[in-house]
Amino acid sequence: MRADPIVVCFPFIGDEVGGSHISAIRLIEALNPSQVRPIVVLHVADGPVAAYVKQRGIPFVEAPLRARPGANGRGLRAIGPALGALAPLTRFLRQHGVAIVHTNDGRCHAIWALPARLAGARQLWHHRGDPDARGANWLAPLLAGHIVTVSHFSRPERPVRGVGHKLSVVHSPFDPPTDAGDRAGARARLIAELGCPSDTAFLGYFGLLIDRKRPLGFVEAVAAFVDRHPEIPVMGLLFGVPGREAPRLGEAVLGRASALGIEGRIRLMGYRQPVEPWMQAMDILLVPAVREPFGRTLIEAMFLGTPVVATRDGGNPEAIEHDVNGILVPLEQPEAFVEPIFRLLTDPDHRRRIVETARARAHATYNVETHVARLTAIYQALCRRAPETSPGAVRRTIP
């Protein structure tokens, strides 16, 4: 006999859109409704995540809280807001028959952990951050029913309790483009917008402007290339907005460009959606990030035929085999980007080999179907393990 769909609650704060939100929402869209019924909950019902899910036709409900979580409440620092939210969120989960709470960022991990436990639901803690994150090492081992990390690098480094029995590494889902796109047209539109010469080479940065992603390092890499190869016209374009913890980082980017004498070669492009035409217009994607768990932009670029030069750090080496489907460079060395950029811009055969291999591997490895199947299996296993004595616990027979 087929059981009812598992009710899974996906809470988001909703005050910014990043790769974690895109990955989680792509999962929500692809879930089989006969197996899983998702409920999207937003703490900020008028923010960028609300706009994003509305655009994609995904319904949501507003979290039953009187106040929004503070901007600085991440990980363990969110325990205060979590205690204030305990009663209303517990009632919400019971009223909606939620079996699993699938959290995707530091504040939601902490805020929803105790309500899930009290409501008899299981928490799936989807860790998309550093391996030394305090929440992942202190709270998740004690409270989460299961931990999913986006890479082997991001697994909790020093958990207070062993988590091997309840941890899975599941790479994020990606939708391959339905066609190759119009790279020439995307490039022409960008040239028209910027008013730059037609032979300009575009070096791209995609993501939030936060310190870990090193937007200042991107500027320094562009400056190093300009210094070494002034004969090649290049522009460094940053697609993204400052994160909450670094609201003035955009100004710092422009200040750094000015100090290095390349202010005319750096542009802040803001948040653009859809991202594909802009990424296709790039000649090369530069990823100077430090301890990046698993950047979506690397794989998106591979699908779109834009070669990637990234730091040999974090989850980047799990996605890139050096000089095969991308280029890896040493950490915190902007000048290390110069030679890979030069070769990709001047050696068509090298560029073609990198692009073709990257696209083939991306199609073979990062498909949505595999991601959904793995998460659905985890949901089902969590429900089978749900303690029968917990209030509201759900126990299901898997078909």
Predicted local distance difference test score (pLDDT) of residue 386? 56
Least confident of 68-77, 99-108, 248-257, 339-348: 68-77
C-alpha angle 392-110-139 in degrees, rounded to nearest 5: 95
> Cis ω on the peptide bond leading into residue 274 (within 30° of 0)?
yes
**What pTM does this model have?**
0.83
With a cut of 50, say whether residue 72 has pLDDT above it: no
With a cut of 60, say whether residue 27 has pLDDT above it: yes
Tokens 């305090």 — which residue? 134
Predicted local distance difference test score (pLDDT) of residue 63? 96
Rounded CA gap, 179 and 164, in Å? 40
Higher model confidence: residue 79 or residue 280? 280
With a cut of 90, say whether residue 390 has pLDDT above it: no
Identify the H or E element spanning 125.
strand 122-127
pLDDT band for 387, please (50, 70, 90 cuts): low
C-alpha angle 66-72-78 in degrees, rounded to nearest 5: 65
With a cut of 90, say whether residue 385 has pLDDT above it: no
Rounded CA gap, 109 and 116, in Å? 10
Least confident of 33-42, 81-90, 128-137: 81-90
Residues of the chain above pLDDT 70, percent: 91
Predicted local distance difference test score (pLDDT) of residue 85? 87
Predicted local distance difference test score (pLDDT) of residue 71? 47
Residues of the chain above pLDDT 90, percent: 81
Higher model confidence: residue 399 or residue 311? 311
Rounded CA gap, 254 and 267, in Å? 8
Which ranges constitute the DSSP H helices of the chain? 19-30, 48-55, 79-95, 106-118, 134, 140-143, 183-194, 215-228, 249-259, 276-280, 296-304, 316-319, 338-346, 348-365, 368-385
Rounded CA gap, 88 and 303, in Å? 43
With a cut of 70, say whether residue 367 has pLDDT above it: yes
What token pair was written down for 138?
């202190």
Instruction: Answer whether 77's CB lies under 8 Å from 42's CB.
Output: no
Amino acid letter, residue 182: D
Q: What are phi and psi of 174, to 5 degrees?
A: -140, 140
Predicted local distance difference test score (pLDDT) of residue 326? 98
What token pair was written down for 286?
């530069």
pLDDT tens digit sequence for 76-93: 455 556 677 899 999 999
Predicted local distance difference test score (pLDDT) of residue 67? 59
Amino acid letter, residue 310: A
With a cut of 50, say whether residue 259 has pLDDT above it: yes
Instruction: Answer whether 175's CB lies under 8 Å from 368's CB.
Output: yes
Predicted local distance difference test score (pLDDT) of residue 92? 98
Rounded CA gap, 112 and 63, in Å? 11
